[in-house]
């Protein structure tokens, strides 16, 4: 405990950076994934083919490789990023295809009859997406969205490889200075366990709210 208390401020700073990276990366990847899913549904055929290639390329390569290409390979293409922006962009890109597929499956689960009925009464496509497609898709897609958001919390440890000062980076520094592997990795595990528990409880609360909202609409 003395060791944990001594390194407590550094661990808390690292945990704060981890939460920041996760929040920004998850929010950006959710938005990008939604845009990709909508473009796949309503975009022209060439754009849909390009997006399928993008999804397959990102899902088919490890996050660590993508991060190295962005951070270390970027300067060869004239793209020079500091560690934190590169980490946030990398996390957003990595998560977007997974969220896109979750949204796409949610959209496919919406009954076609409801969309056709909306078109029959003259609703625009934008209104259909906003008032029918998205709300109904969220009911079935929310558990999967929360589940992958939890996965992204643990992917943030990869950011330490490009010197983003998140929790894993601080734990590695603690190990280097003390050679106390057990205490350091235990602290890392406990911090992430707490974050995952918080996200999962928030997800269950959101599921209840969405279900209650849909029942009231009926």
Secondary structure, 3-state, 70-85? HHCCHHHHCCCCCHHH
**Would you give per-residue pLDDT tens digits along the chain (218 residues)?**
778 788 889 999 999 999 999 999 999 999 999 999 999 999 999 999 999 999 999 999 999 999 999 999 988 888 899 999 999 999 999 999 999 999 999 998 888 888 888 888 888 888 888 888 888 888 888 899 999 999 999 999 999 999 899 999 999 988 998 888 888 899 999 999 999 999 999 988 888 877 766 666 65
What confidence score (pLDDT) does residue 217 get? 62
Residue 214: per-residue pLDDT: 64
pLDDT of the residue at 92: 96
What span, in angstroms and rounded, lies between the C-alpha atoms of 42 and 125? 9
Give CA–CA dist 210/186, Å, rounded: 36
Q: What gap in Å lies between CA 39 and CA 119, rounded to an integer?
A: 19
Residues near 40 by Cβ (< 8 Å), separated by ≥ 6?
48, 51, 52, 100, 104
In whole angstroms, what is the distance from residue 166 CA to residue 41 CA? 37
Please identify which residue in the block is written with the tokens 């899902």.
Answer: 59
Q: Which residues contact 189 (CB under 8 A, 6 or more apart)?
A: none
Among 153, 189, 194, 195, residue whose Cα is nearest residue 171 = 189
pLDDT of residue 216: 65
Q: Identify the pLDDT of residue 7.
A: 85
Measured CA to CA, the distance from residue 127 to residue 149 in angstroms comes to: 28
Question: In the prediction, which pLDDT does 218 show?
Answer: 59
Note the pTM of the prediction, 2 decimals.
Answer: 0.90
């Amino acid at each position: 405990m003395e060791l944990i208390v001594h390194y407590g401020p550094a661990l808390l700073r690292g945990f704060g950076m981890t939460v920041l990276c996760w929040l920004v990366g998850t929010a950006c990847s959710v938005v990008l994934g939604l845009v990709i899913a909508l473009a796949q549904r309503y975009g022209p055929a060439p754009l849909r083919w390009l997006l399928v290639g993008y999804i397959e390329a990102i899902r088919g390569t490890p996050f660590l490789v993508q991060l190295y290409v962005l951070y270390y390979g970027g300067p060869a293409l004239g793209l020079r990023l500091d560690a934190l922006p590169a980490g946030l962009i990398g996390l957003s890109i990595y998560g977007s295809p997974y969220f896109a597929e979750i949204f796409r499956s949610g959209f496919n689960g919406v009954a076609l009859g409801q969309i056709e009925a909306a078109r029959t009464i003259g609703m625009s496509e934008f209104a259909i997406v906003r008032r029918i497609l998205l709300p109904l898709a969220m009911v079935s897609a929310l558990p999967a969205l929360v589940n992958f958001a939890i996965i992204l919390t643990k992917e943030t440890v990869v950011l330490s490889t490009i010197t983003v000062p998140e929790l894993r980076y601080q734990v590695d520094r603690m190990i280097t200075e003390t050679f106390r592997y057990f205490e350091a990795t235990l602290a890392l595990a406990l911090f992430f366990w707490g974050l995952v528990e918080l996200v999962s409880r928030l997800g269950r609360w959101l599921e209840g709210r969405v279900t209650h909202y849909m029942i009231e609409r009926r």
